[in-house]
Amino acid sequence: MEHSYQEHQSGSNLQSLNPTSDAQLKSDKGFPASPSWQATAISVGSSINDRFIRARWPELLTITAFASIVFAAIPYHEAWSDEAQAWQIARTTTLAEMFHSYIRYEGSPGLWHFLLWIMIHLHVTYTGLHWICGLIAITSTAILVYGAPFPRYLKLSIPFTCFLLFQYAIVARSYVLVPPLLFLIAFFWKGGPLKLSALLGVLANVSLHAGLISGALLIIFIWEHRKSIRALKFSRRRFFVSAAILGTLYSVALWTAWPPADLANHIAALHNVPAPYFSRIIAVLILPTGEPYILALPFWIAMVLMLKQRSSLRYLLPLVFLAAFAAVVPSFYWHYGLFVPLLIVVLWITWPQRTSPLPSFELIGRIALVYLIGIQIAWSIYALKWDLENPYSPDLAAAQFLRPYVNNKARILITYIRNADGLGSGASATGILPYFDRNIYLNQAMPFYSWKDGNPSEKEFDDLLPTHPDLVIVETKNAGAIPKIDLNHPKVWELARNGYHLTHRFCGTMPARLSPYLTSCHLIFEPERTRQ
């Protein structure tokens, strides 16, 4: 904001001094454009570009630094199994099959799968996907640093917070689309409804969490413009076109994400989360903001007081919606992280024009923001360092081990061990499949995991194990960095009775905050004759 007057003046000078239009006018009337006029135009344009670079060099440096970190980190990142699940669905099904039969089991609208389908048909590789996600994140950062009204000490440091720099840049999930869409919504918030309705509709198609955010922002927008809408002070045509766009995009999101009847067991499992609901809401709020946890409470108090001083408490609605939903649906660290770009947008939209002197709660709120940015940058450093020095996922290493077996047409079964805290499923084995050109598992019908009730893969495992396949892969997952492998589990004893022994272990751990968060392992069991 501090350069807005200078930029306005630069724009005015451009219109008044740039002789290109006069030269073009002469040329149109039959007079040749003078080379001196063209040289002057180039000189003026270069001068304006130089002034822009001099005025905005901190923003350019920030984007360059962000891009350098992201592109340096991507080659060291091993994709997690949920990154692979969406890729495999888009890679191995037709567009009609994907939308009609498979996406609705993923608990998500279909925008990300559709974009993956397009990339795959443009011959983008699984590795290339992560570079595209990095480019999306860089674009998001450019929107933030050039468009946000924050002072530079905030907007030039926010991009390096953990979720924007790592989780929504290097990790290839649909959530990489959320920050740029939210930042564009904030940028166009005070404009007409046409662009905003399109952006809100697209946001609703990214994920269920993003859909709730979109709905809450729509409620706020309608409330703020209720008088104009009632009186149709907006252009009638634009208003109805906006409503049609939004209604269509919301309908598509609901249609693709609506759970089918044979997903009932997974939906019922949502109600078996042991912690009380209020405790889960507190956890959702503190996990992405507090370090140590206790400091999350004063941080959120500061945010509420700052919004109250701005007379903008209604903007807490999307934050409340997100917390309420994430506390009901089993969510992970990257879901909780959506609070960060959402909070940025809430503060962006409500940012006061007056900058000094700062009211007391405004000052406290900005100090709290500096605290949040500081701890999140520390989390970014930890996550990047961890991803560089440790396997983030076991999938790539396991695929490299399995390749000679797959080339020799080995018969491979998959199964899993669920630990005491409920973690573990056969879905983790999907992470290996993008590294092969076909499904390599005997007891999995599709080259991705099916969340249908009555998934037959475990029954087929029991039926096929006596036929002595060449390999058995057992999936395990647990909290923390140390793999917890229960060798006394009935599944391990069953394998031992059939002559199989653990020969190789491939594990990977994702970090969160300042500690390891979740460890996933592929355990390779081979028959005794293979070991000799």
CA distance 222 to 201: 15
| Structure token pair of residue 449 | 């995991």
61 with 51, same domain?
no
φ, ψ for residue 79 (rounded to 5)?
-65, 145
Which class for 328: exposed (0-12), middle (13-18), buried (19 or more C-beta within 10 A)? middle
How many domains does the structure of the chain reveal?
3
157 with 217, same domain?
yes
348 with 430, same domain?
no
418 with 338, same domain?
no
| Structure token pair of residue 173 | 């999930």
209 with 320, same domain?
yes
Rounded to 10°, the helix 35-55/57-73 angle is 70
* Residues linked to residue 501 through DSSP beta bridges, in sequence order: 526
Give whole-number Cα distances, 248 to 52, 244, 251, 253, in Å. Answer: 41, 6, 5, 9
What pTM did the predictor assign?
0.87
The residue among 389, 414, 441 that closes a domain is 389
402 with 291, same domain?
no
299 close to 368: Cβ distance less than 8 angstroms: yes
161 with 22, same domain?
no
The residue among 374, 389, 404 that closes a domain is 389
DSSP letters for 230-259: HTT-S-HHHHHHHHHHHHHHHHHHHHHHSP
418 with 449, same domain?
yes
380 with 268, same domain?
yes
229 with 169, same domain?
yes
Would you give the DSSP letter of residue 165?
I
The residue among 38, 55, 72 that closes a domain is 55
Per-residue pLDDT of the chain (532 residues; tens, 9 = 90+): 444 434 444 443 333 334 444 444 334 434 344 555 555 555 655 666 667 667 789 999 999 999 999 999 999 999 999 999 999 999 999 999 999 889 999 989 999 999 999 999 999 999 999 999 999 999 999 999 999 999 999 999 999 999 999 999 999 999 999 999 999 999 999 887 889 999 999 999 999 999 999 999 999 998 988 766 665 566 677 788 889 999 999 999 999 998 888 876 666 555 555 567 778 888 888 989 988 889 999 999 999 999 999 999 999 999 999 999 888 887 788 999 999 999 999 999 999 987 678 899 999 999 999 999 999 999 999 999 999 999 999 999 999 999 999 999 999 999 999 876 667 788 999 999 999 999 999 999 999 999 988 889 999 999 999 999 999 999 999 988 888 888 889 999 999 999 999 999 999 999 999 999 999 999 999 998 655 4
* Structural domain for 33, as ranges: 4-55
CA distance 360 to 405: 67
75 with 41, same domain?
no
384 with 412, same domain?
no
